[in-house]
């Protein structure tokens, strides 16, 4: 009689225990020390490491947190992981998204970072010509924005407060308040806006 074919997920499950043991050993932790860190009993950890017990998602989350590893480390199916960092080369930047400053004038902008499943922050770099600006109050949304002026001066209004942000200055503000910017000077301003959605 033929042995039943193994399921494609079995090697992933079988690898969880050895990965927990390897993570514990790398940190020099005893079973009891990992139990104290994770809130999972030493007996349960021992069973997981030996492959006698498949951990629940809650148990695995606790162990992953205590071992300082992402949960994906324990259930990796061998497919190549996405790079940890995102490298955007100077020549490959795209124009700013349409919702960044939809009514902006006298402004040439390009993306320096795009929010994704793994990364929350986004960024836009722009040159604002004299007289250019956001075109009035930008749309309100949960989150925050960090403005770094690289060259020139931008006038920024945030919820009724007035700021002159010069080269080297940073202005950090919530984006759920009315905010707008403009270049009131006779020279172009260059700046970067970093956004973190709420």
State pLDDT tens for residues 123-142: 999 999 999 999 988 889 89
Task: Note the pLDDT tens digit of each residue in 47-82.
Answer: 999 989 999 999 999 999 999 988 888 887 655 556
Distance CA 189, CA 139 (A): 22
The answer on pLDDT for 107 being more than 90 is yes
Q: Token pair for residue 146?
A: 């960090």
Confidence band of 86 (pLDDT split at 50, 70, 90):
confident
Is the distance from CB of 103 to CB of 136 less than 8 angstroms?
yes
SS3 at position 18: helix
- In this prediction, what percent of the chain has a pLDDT beyond 70? 93
The answer on pLDDT for 4 being more than 80 is no
DSSP annotation of 20 reads H
Residue range 20-31: average pLDDT?
A: 91
DSSP annotation of 85 reads S
3-state secondary structure 23-65: HHHHCCCCHHHHHHHHCCCHHHHHHHHHCCCCCCHHHHHHHHH
What the chain holds in terms of domains, given with CATH numbers, is 10-74 (1.10.260.40), 90-197 (2.60.120.10)
The answer on pLDDT for 8 being more than 80 is no
- Closest C-alpha among 67, 79, 83, 81 to residue 18: 67
Burial class of residue 163 in the structure, from the number of CB atoms within 10 Å of its CB (0-12 exposed, 13-18 middle, 19+ buried): middle
- Closest C-alpha among 129, 123, 109, 144 to residue 182: 129
Is the distance from CB of 69 to CB of 62 less than 8 angstroms?
no
What's the mean pLDDT when you consider all of the chain? 89
Confidence band of 15 (pLDDT split at 50, 70, 90):
confident
Find the angle CA(78)-CA(122)-CA(147) to the nearest 5 degrees: 150
Element of type H or E holding 172: strand 170-174
């Amino acid at each position: 009689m033929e042995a039943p074919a193994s399921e494609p997920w079995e090697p992933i499950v079988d690898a969880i225990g050895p990965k927990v043991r390897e993570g514990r050993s790398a940190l020099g932790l005893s079973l009891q020390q990992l139990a104290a860190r994770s809130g999972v009993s030493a007996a349960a950890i021992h069973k997981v490491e030996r492959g006698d017990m498949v951990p629940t998602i809650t148990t695995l989350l606790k162990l992953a947190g205590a071992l300082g590893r992402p949960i994906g480390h324990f259930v990796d199916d061998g497919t190549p992981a996405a790079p940890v960092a995102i490298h955007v080369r100077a020549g490959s930047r795209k124009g700013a998204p349409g919702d960044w400053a939809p009514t902006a004038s006298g402004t040439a902008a390009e993306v320096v970072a795009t929010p994704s499943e793994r990364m929350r922050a986004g960024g836009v770099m722009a040159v604002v010509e004299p007289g250019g600006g956001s075109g009035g109050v930008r749309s309100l949304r949960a989150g925050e924005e960090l403005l770094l002026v690289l060259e020139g001066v931008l006038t920024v209004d945030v919820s009724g407060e007035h700021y002159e942000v010069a080269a080297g200055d940073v202005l950090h503000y919530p984006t759920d308040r009315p905010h707008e910017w403009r270049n009131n000077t006779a020279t172009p301003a260059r700046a970067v806006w970093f956004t973190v959605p709420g």
